[in-house]
Amino acid sequence: MLAVPAPYSLRPMIVADIPAVLEIDRLSFPTPATEQLFLNELTDNQLAHYQVLARGGEALAGYAGFWLIAGEIHISTIAVHPDERGRGRGEWLLLNLLLEARALDPLLVTLEVRRGNETAQALYRKYQFEEVGVRRRYYRDTGEDAVLMTVDFARQPDYDRWLALRAEAMTQTTAD
Ligand SMILES: CC(C)(COP(=O)(O)OP(=O)(O)OC[C@H]1O[C@@H](n2cnc3c(N)ncnc32)[C@H](O)[C@@H]1OP(=O)(O)O)[C@@H](O)C(=O)NCCC(=O)NCCS
């Protein structure tokens, strides 16, 4: 796990985190996830990897997750509590996720993001994700298109080095 400034820490998500995760999820997405979904992800899905950003003891500031399927990493979710946004927490979660994912030696990392979600797209672009397609009316709740974004390691051979430098820079920072 990426070392982030105290009082924050990153660690694998556990079942006891689910209530706090659901609260952040509810505050973050038009259609919130269910308890059962996270329970399945943590207990049944061998392909799933979830992490939380803890603040001090029990409080959670955010979470992220990915699946490793057929050599591809798919980012399934990432969210930061609204009170914690805009201060680098999402970047910590994404950087950590990418480091964990990279250790599994995938060919590429993919994700879908709502067309209107400029904030998330800016974060992904900062991490060198490129727009490679659109899934029309992908989100059933709002009918919004999904933008498909990827990092393709064959096309971005310096990515590991770049990620390592980002992680190194992180160790110089303090939480504000
Ligand atoms: C997307 C999300 C995780 C970003 O987390 P965050 O902690 O607010 O983001 P950070 O402070 O780490 O910012 C990292 C980068 O994101 C982008 N970003 C963050 N806030 C932004 C804003 N208000 N407008 C535009 N870009 C923004 C920038 O590229 C920023 O890098 P910079 O500071 O060098 O400009 C958070 O906004 C969130 O939880 N949103 C709701 C859930 C969601 O949409 N998840 C993505 C699903 S695909």
pLDDT tens sequence across 101-132: 999 999 999 999 999 999 999 999 999 999 99
Among protein residues, the one with the nearest Cα to ligand 1's atom 27 is 119
- The string of pLDDT tens digits covering residues 6-51 is 999 999 999 999 999 999 999 999 999 999 999 999 999 999 999 9
Q: What is the pLDDT of residue 136?
A: 97
Cα–Cα distance, 20 to 18 (Å, whole number) = 6
The H or E element spanning position 38 is: helix 35-43
Among protein residues, the one with the nearest Cα to ligand 1's atom 4 is 90
Q: How far is the CA of 4 from the centre of ligand 1 (A)?
A: 17
Does the predicted TM-score (pTM) go above 0.95?
yes
